Amino acid sequence: MEAPLNFGTPSPSPSTFSLSPPDLCDDINTPDTQRSLLFDDDVAEDPLDIAGGNSRFIMVVGGLGYIGSHTVLELLKANYNVLVIDDLSNSYESVLHRITTLASEHFIVQGRPMPALHFRQLDYRSPCMRSILASYSSYTVDNRVNRVDKMRSYPYSTLTRNDSGIDMEVDDQQERTLTRQSRISGVIHFAAYKSVEESIRMPLKYYSNNVCGLVDFLSLLEEFGIKNFVFSSSATVYGEGANCGVPLREELCVHHHESFMDEDGTERHAIPGVLGLTSPYGRSKFMCESILADIARSDPSWKITALRYFNPVGCHESGILGEDPRQKPSNLIPVIATVLTGTKPHLDIFGTDWNTPDGTAVRDFIHVVDLARGHIAALAASISGKIQAPFRTYNLGTGRGHTVREVLSTLEETSQRQIPAREVGRRAGDVGFCVAEVKRAEAELAWKAEKSLKDCSIDVWNFTKGRCPPQMPEKSGC
């Protein structure tokens, strides 16, 4: 069940988290047998209205993972109440405590109460999600007066004597209507599987969770009237187009016909589709974007934003919150971290024959805090109506590329340690160059990445150094 998290700062909405095992629907939402939603007066109270009143929440599915946890922290700092859904399949509940520690410290300094933070351990595909959404809904009973003409209601009334004393005049009848309003004002989706390599070995796992899971989840959100949706997409949707050697703009991957202005001010027309998707993971993201685009086109009341990540790196500057997956890491920085901590003997550099300055792949490495703030910007722009289209894609990157060797060198310089590395062949599904064109996000979301690769290295080392073995006496470092 739930226990309060005490932060030492008064809050009108105490943060809570669940210690119950996943998929226990009865524990999550027990029907109130003492109260009738249809016949009690005015407002049907929610027995699990933990926050009190009608507080609004942002629901973050997959909110304890690497990007999700940093986004939850930034949401709290931006004064949003947050509901986290995570099955802990690739994360730890201790991440929740790290988030609350950092958030409470922030609000103590600010002299303000911390927003509510709720957690449910649950797979977003679970049938219990319906109970969760119901518990975050407000119910109002409307009393409407319908004037009923008995002469029309009873067609044989003309056969009745007028002096019988039966009232044949128009009568008033009350009709009670139950209206449900969700207190979840927006959803951020981080619940997809994300390993390119694993998706090639286990494609059905990726299509089941990433695509089929999303379809069912969207149907459930629509049922509850929740239509403000931020989707974590990926630069993998650009496929082989990433190897063109120039920054990738959003129009290279569209789902319906679009017109845009190129660098010379000439109007161009983008046709739906993309060139050469390289993995089931990338295909699953493209499919999900297509589904979202089709939904938005059929029902413009949806507000859907797809954020195409490039390569998230870094950690929170405190060194408390970072990338610590439960499963085998596949991203460059956490793999380097396993080498620094001695868990892995060396870093494998996949491919040294790419058409790049040093032969290793070029990536657009964006600090995870910048990425998290990009979600806040997208959410705010959607809620405020600044994004006019019901479906819109944005690249989240820096617009600058760095090779794998540059990243390795920067981390060696920051840690003052040599990081063993070996060169191996190209990895299936990889591309040689992947850098974002970021003008659309800068113009429409008023967002721009601020942190450098050096900032990323310093923060990663702060997060990692406590787990590193002692340095040999003849070598300098921590």
Burial 65-84 (b: 16+ CB within 10 A, else e): bbbbbbbbbbbbbeebbbbb
Q: Strand pairing of 117-121 and 81-86?
A: parallel
DSSP secondary structure, 362-409, as one string: EE-EEEHHHHHHHHHHHHHHHHHT---SSEEEEEES-S--EEHHHHHH
Residue 242's alpha-carbon distances to 24, 123, 236, 310, 354, in angstroms, are: 44, 33, 8, 11, 13
Q: Alpha-carbon distance 343 to 48, whole Å?
A: 44
- Closest by CA to 335, choosing from 478, 464, 475, is 464
Q: Alpha-carbon distance 184 to 384, whole Å?
A: 16
Structure tokens at 448: 């721009």
- Closest by CA to 87, choosing from 368, 326, 373, is 326
In sequence order, the 6+-apart residues with CB closer than 8 A to the CB of 377 are 441, 445, 446, 447
Q: Alpha-carbon distance 195 to 197, whole Å?
A: 5
| Residues 405/361, Cβ–Cβ less than 8 Å | no
Phi-psi region of 283 (alpha: psi -120 to 50; beta: other; left: phi over 0): alpha
Q: Alpha-carbon distance 28 to 167, whole Å?
A: 52
- Residue of 124, 136, 281, 309 marked active site: 281
Q: Alpha-carbon distance 430 to 354, whole Å?
A: 11
Structure tokens at 459: 């923060």
| Residues 269/252, Cβ–Cβ less than 8 Å | no
207 is catalytic: no
Which residue do the tokens 């920067």 mark?
410
Q: Alpha-carbon distance 247 to 221, whole Å?
A: 35
Catalytic amino acids? Answer: 281
